[in-house]
Structure formats: C-alpha cells, structure tokens
C-alpha cells in the first residue's frame, strides 16, 4: 500500500484508489497550502449554493458571491456583521438559533426565512457544520420555489377540486390534528354532517351544471356559517362535514340554524324551475377530544338519519328522491 503517514496528494490518492486501494478514499489528502487556499476561495466565492463562514455569535467572516446575490447585500456590508444586525432574519428567529445550535451541537439542517436588502423574503435551507474553534461553515440554498410547489401539491392532494373545501383525506388529516390538540387542552370537538337534500333529483331534472352550482353554494355557506377556524370538507357526492373546536353545543346549534336560514334563500335552477337549497344535518361531539374522525362521522350519520327521514316525508311535490 505504501506509506500514508505523511498524507497523499489528491492525484496520488485518486490513482491508488483506482488501482485497488479503496480504503484510501476516506483518507485525508495532504496538499500544499496554496492549493487548499485556492480550493477554499473557489468554494466560498464561486459556489452555486450560498456559503458563509461565521462565528458562533453570528459574525460573518467570509461569504460567497452567491450569498451576496441571495441577500442583496454587497460583501463590504456583510463582513463583520450578523444576520440579526442586518435584519436578514426576524429577531425571534435570531434568538432561537443559538439555542438550537447548542441542542444540535452546531450541526444540522434547518429552514429559515430571510429578508433581503430590498425587503422581499426568501425561504432558505441551511446546512451548518462546526469547524475548529469558533467557526461555523453554513451552506445556504434558496428553496422558495420548491416549498411553494410542495405547498401546491399538498393543496391539490387535500382539496376538493369542485368546491375548494377539503376533500375526505384533507378533512380527516385536519380533524385528526384538531382532536389531538383538543385532548391536550381539554376542549370539545363538534362534527356536523351535512347531506344536500334532493341533489339527485336536481341533477336529473335540471342537469349536472345546476347540481354543481348547488354543491358550490353549500360549501361557501358552510364556510360562512361556522367561521374561518372551522374545518370544512366534502366527503364525497352530496355529503359535507364541518368540525369546530372549543365551542359550546349551543354555539354549534346557532350555526346550524344560520346555515339552514341562509341556504333557504339560495335558489338554484333556470327561471321558472328554481328550487331552494337545503341540507339534512347530523351532529356528534368528542369531549376533551377523545375519539376518532371515523367514529364522529358514524355518530353524526346516526343523528342525521332522523333529519333525512323527516325531509323525505315532507318534501315538496316537485322533488323526487
């Protein structure tokens, strides 16, 4: 194998690995100071990802050209300063960073929002590593567009394409989180199941366009009736569900009445054949957040059966089941 105590140059190490000594691949190279200085300078100044050399206290000692481009600050305004002093990160984030550094032993990957010199914000992914002494090497990648794409994909995967409310998957995920939080806070979660009355008859008589308009109107009215903090979802077909946390049963009942009242004023259909929109409701509650989404839906479905039966026993003559 030969003597490696003195270290190998890059060329010598590569040659010997190629010729059958793979264990040398992780052996540190021993290059001249000028070669190492040139490598460090190239990485710091020319790297596509932003590269920063800073102290534990956050003082910038060296920054790459790409970091200057990312932040909008010239190198002369960055060196000797910190991200907090320049307003690159919000003060609370700057305060939490040293605490996180200690917990992670000054290494790891994290996301951060930076504010450029022109006031615009970017989401960046930071990878930092502790070097000898007081120095940290931080590699920073702009991931703004990637995070936006991820958010859009998540939205598409959890949203009903027709009405804009959550689909069954998205609703289940959100209400599961709501139940978990309610258990920790001792709150009650109420779930309201809403079936659109006579939707099949409306589709048969008036066409699916008016059926779709009915579903959209119901979704919008549910959002208004139960407020912005409610989870509203379309479980499928003509079935919607709403979940709210931390409200009394009386407040939910008032929202139910407001829903019925608002829908009664919405007329769907062509002139001369319009019909009011109505829904049959069923409710269920999880005290202290104890329960599952499926269990709440099942209980609300049992409650809704009574309302459905009442609707079909008293429906106007022009409606067909």
32-146 fold: Beta-Lactamase (3.30.450)
Q: Looking at residues 18-29, what average pLDDT do you find?
A: 86
**43 vs 221 pLDDT, higher one:** 221
Quickly tell me which residue has 């003060």 as its tokens: 91
Q: Which of 87-91, 149-153, 177-181 has the highest mean pLDDT?
A: 177-181
Q: Which pLDDT score is estimated for 3?
A: 44
Q: Which pLDDT score is estimated for 118?
A: 94
Residue 15 CB-half CA count within 13 A: 7
Q: List the structure tokens of 139.
A: 């590699």
159-314: in CATH 3.30.70.270: yes
Q: Which pLDDT score is estimated for 72?
A: 96
The edge-to-edge listing of strands for the beta sheet with 50-55 is 60-63, 50-55, 135-142, 121-130, 108-115
**275 vs 217 pLDDT, higher one:** 217
Spatial contact of 266 and 196, defined as CB atoms under 8 Å apart: no
DSSP 8-state code for residue 56 = T
> Nearest Cα to 82, choosing from 66, 98, 69?
98
pLDDT band at 4 (very low <50, low <70, confident <90, very high): very low
**43 vs 315 pLDDT, higher one:** 43
Q: Which pLDDT score is estimated for 180?
A: 94
Helix/strand/coil for 187: coil
Q: Say whether pTM exceeds 0.95.
A: no
pLDDT digits (tens, 9 = 90+) for 242-263: 999 999 999 999 999 999 999 9
pLDDT digits (tens, 9 = 90+) for 277-289: 889 999 999 998 8
Whether 67 shows a pLDDT value over 70: the answer reads yes
Angle between helix 208-226 and 199-206 (nearest 10): 140
- Where in the chain are the domains? 32-146, 159-314
Q: Which pLDDT score is estimated for 157?
A: 86
Whether 43 shows a pLDDT value over 50: the answer reads yes
pLDDT band at 320 (very low <50, low <70, confident <90, very high): very low
Report the 10 Å Cβ neighbour count for 69: 12
Query: Residue 226 and residue 215: Cα distance in Å, rounded?
Result: 17
Query: Residue 122 and residue 144: Cα distance in Å, rounded?
Result: 6
The helix (run of H) or strand (run of E) holding residue 176 is helix 168-185
Q: Looking at residues 93-112, what average pLDDT do you find?
A: 59
Report the 10 Å Cβ neighbour count for 29: 15
Indicate the pairing of strand 189-196 with strand 275-276.
unpaired
Query: Residue 168 and residue 99: Cα distance in Å, rounded?
Result: 40
Torsion angle of the four alpha carbons 80, 86, 92, 93, in this order, in degrees rounded to the nearest 10:
-70
With pLDDT > 70 as the criterion, what percentage of the chain qualifies?
87
Q: Which pLDDT score is estimated for 95?
A: 46
Q: Which of 25-39, 129-143, 291-305 has the highest mean pLDDT?
A: 291-305
- Residue 72: φ, ψ to 5°: 85, 0
The mean of the pLDDT values for the chain is: 84
Length of the chain: 321
Buried b (16+ CB within 10 A) or exposed e, 1-17: eeebeeebeeeebeebb
Q: Which pLDDT score is estimated for 99?
A: 45
Point out which residues pair with 115 in neighbouring strands.
121
- Give the range among 29-33, 119-123, 269-273, 302-306 with minimum mean pLDDT: 269-273
Q: Which pLDDT score is estimated for 313?
A: 66
pLDDT digits (tens, 9 = 90+) for 297-317: 999 998 888 777 766 666 654
pLDDT digits (tens, 9 = 90+) for 228-240: 999 999 999 999 9
Distances (CA, A) of 190 to 8, 123, 179, 236, 248: 69, 36, 10, 20, 9
């Amino acid at each position: 194998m030969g003597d490696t105590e003195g270290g190998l140059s890059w060329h010598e190490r590569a040659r010997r690995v190629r010729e059958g000594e793979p264990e040398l691949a992780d052996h540190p190279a021993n290059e001249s100071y000028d070669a190492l200085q040139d490598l460090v300078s190239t990485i710091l100044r020319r790297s596509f990802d932003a590269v920063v050399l800073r102290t534990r206290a956050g003082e910038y000692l060296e920054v790459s050209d790409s970091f200057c481009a990312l932040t909008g600050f010239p190198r002369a305004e960055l060196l000797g300063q910190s991200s907090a002093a320049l307003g690159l990160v919000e003060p609370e984030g700057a305060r939490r960073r040293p605490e996180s550094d200690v917990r992670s032993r000054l290494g790891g990957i994290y996301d951060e929002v930076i504010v450029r010199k022109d006031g615009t914000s970017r989401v960046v992914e930071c990878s930092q590593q502790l070097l000898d002494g007081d120095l940290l090497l931080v590699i920073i990648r702009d991931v703004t567009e990637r995070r936006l794409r991820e958010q859009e994909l998540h939205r598409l995967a959890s949203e009903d394409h027709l009405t804009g409310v959550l689909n069954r998957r998205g609703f289940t995920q959100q209400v599961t989180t709501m139940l978990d939080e309610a258990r920790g806070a001792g709150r009650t979660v109420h779930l309201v199941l809403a079936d659109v009355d006579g939707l099949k008859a409306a589709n048969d008589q008036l066409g699916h366009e008016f059926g779709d308009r009915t579903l959209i109107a119901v979704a919008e009215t549910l959002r208004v009736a139960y407020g912005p903090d409610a989870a509203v979802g379309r479980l499928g077909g003509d079935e919607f569900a709403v979940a709210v946390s931390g409200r009394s049963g009386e407040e939910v009942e008032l929202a139910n009445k407001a829903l019925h009242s608002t829908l009664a004023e919405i007329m769907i259909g062509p002139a001369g054949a319009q019909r009011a929109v109505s829904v049959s409701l069923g409710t269920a509650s999880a005290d202290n957040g104890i329960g599952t989404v499926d269990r709440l839906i099942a209980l609300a479905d049992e409650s809704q059966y009574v309302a459905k039966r009442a609707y079909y026993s008293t429906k106007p003559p022009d409606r067909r089941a």
